[in-house]
Structure 1
Amino acid sequence: MRAISGLWRWRHNPLRRGTDLAEAWVALVALLLILVVTPVVGSVVGGVAQDALQEAVREQRESRQLVTATVIRKLDRSPLDADPETSSGREVRSRVLADWTAPDGTTHQGSVMAALQTPHRGDHFDIWTDLHGRIAARPLDSATATTHAVLAGTGAALLAAGLIEGTRRLAVWRMVRRRYAGWDRAWDSAGPDWGRTGTGS
């Protein structure tokens, strides 16, 4: 808004300098770019991210399956154990030795985290595996993918706005530096005695 009022104010002002009008034009162009370009950048990046993430959701749903594992025995849990599947650190999980049958029919055995507070031999619990029975992370869900896409689009829009504003500030800074340099040259050409009594001024 200041850019538009600046242009209007300097239109016919006899004290207007070229740099004043140029600064107002730069501010107006930057404002228009922020209003037009940043939403487009955000939409494009968000759309591309959404397509890629939803494709990842489909691929993970096809390549990962929930299978039932059976506890063989409980294992000692290290305090450094961290389960990326838990949404809260308060959710109780135990490290156990378990066996399971993969979607391709092969049997597997290994150390896994079970959502059991006190696991006993023979207890059943669900784990995610790939089609060959290897332990896999929980597949990405569609809502989480959409959230990530929105965040990516918002971040891209903010970055574009920051770049435009940074470019505007750099352009204005260069104009001010040029104006000050012009003033310095004018003062130098006036001489060191400018304005003193008896120097002919």
Structure 2
Amino acid sequence: MRALTGLWRWRHNPVRRRTDLAEAWVALVALLLVAVAAPVAGCLAGAAAQDSLQRSARQQQHARHLVTATVVRNLGGAMPESDPDTSATREPHSRVLASWTGPDGTAQHGPLLTDLRSPHRGDRFGLWTDPHGRITARPLDSATATTHAVLAGLGTALLTAGLVEGGRRLAVWRLVRRRYARWDQAWDRAGPDWGKAGTGS
């Protein structure tokens, strides 16, 4: 709004300088870019991230399998582990020696963490593995992928708006410097006689 008001105000103003009009045009162009280019860039980035993340989520869900592991023995000790897909820290995890069968039928065993409160021999729990039975992280789900894509779109829109505003400020700074330089030149032309009685008459 200020850009439009500035353009209208300087349209036929007799004291208008070229830098005043240029500054108003720069503000108008920046306003249009923030209003149009930033949302478009955010939507494009969000859509690209959504496609990539959903494809990755489908690949992970296809390649990772939930198997049932059996506790062989409790290794003692517990430690809290934060799940990156949840906002809070989950219950403390217990270290156990467990055995499980991979999706390809191979028998596996090894130490790992379980969220069983007090694990005993023979207790069962779920475990994510790759096709060969090696332990892996839980696959990315569709909702989490969408959340990350939305955040990527918002970040891109904000970054675009910030770059446009930075460009506008740089352009205005240069215009102000040019305006001051012209004032200095005008003062130099006035010379040391400026303000004396009879000067110029």
Q: TM-score, normalised by structure 2?
A: 0.94
Q: Which runs of 5+ in 1 are unaligned?
A: none
The structural deviation recorded for 1:169 is 0.7
| Range 81-90 or range 159-168, more displaced | 81-90
* Count of residues in correspondence between the two structures: 200
Report the equivalent of 1:140.
140
Q: What residue identity is the alignment partner of 1:45? A: A
Q: Measure, in 2, the Cα distance between the counterparts of 1:187 and 1:77.
A: 81
Report the equivalent of 1:106.
106
| Range 106-115 or range 46-55, more displaced | 106-115
Q: Measure, in 2, the Cα distance between the counterparts of 1:123 and 1:30.
A: 63
Q: Is the 8 A contact 1:83 1:113 kept in 2?
A: no
Superposition pairs of residues 90-169 of structure 1, within 5 angstroms: 90-169=90-169
Superposition pairs of residues 162-181 of structure 1, within 5 angstroms: 162-181=162-181
Report the equivalent of 1:72.
72
Q: TM-score, normalised by structure 1?
A: 0.94
* Secondary structure class of the residue paired with 1:75: strand
Q: Measure, in 2, the Cα distance between the counterparts of 1:69 and 1:5.
A: 70
Q: Is the 8 A contact 2:10 2:20 kept in 1?
A: yes
Q: Is the 8 A contact 2:99 2:109 kept in 1?
A: yes
Q: Is the 8 A contact 1:69 1:127 kept in 2?
A: yes
Q: Measure, in 2, the Cα distance between the counterparts of 1:147 and 1:25.
A: 38
Q: Which runs of 5+ in 2 are unaligned?
A: none
Q: Is the 8 A contact 1:102 1:131 kept in 2?
A: yes
Superposition pairs of residues 49-88 of structure 1, within 5 angstroms: 49-77=49-77, 79=79, 82=81, 84=83, 87=86, 88=88
Q: Measure, in 2, the Cα distance between the counterparts of 1:155 and 1:105.
A: 45
Report the equivalent of 2:183.
183
The structural deviation recorded for 1:190 is 1.3
Q: Is the 8 A contact 2:73 2:120 kept in 1?
A: yes
Q: Is the 8 A contact 1:85 1:138 kept in 2?
A: no
Q: Measure, in 1, the Cα distance between the counterparts of 2:162 and 2:115.
A: 45
Q: Measure, in 2, the Cα distance between the counterparts of 1:168 and 1:185.
A: 26
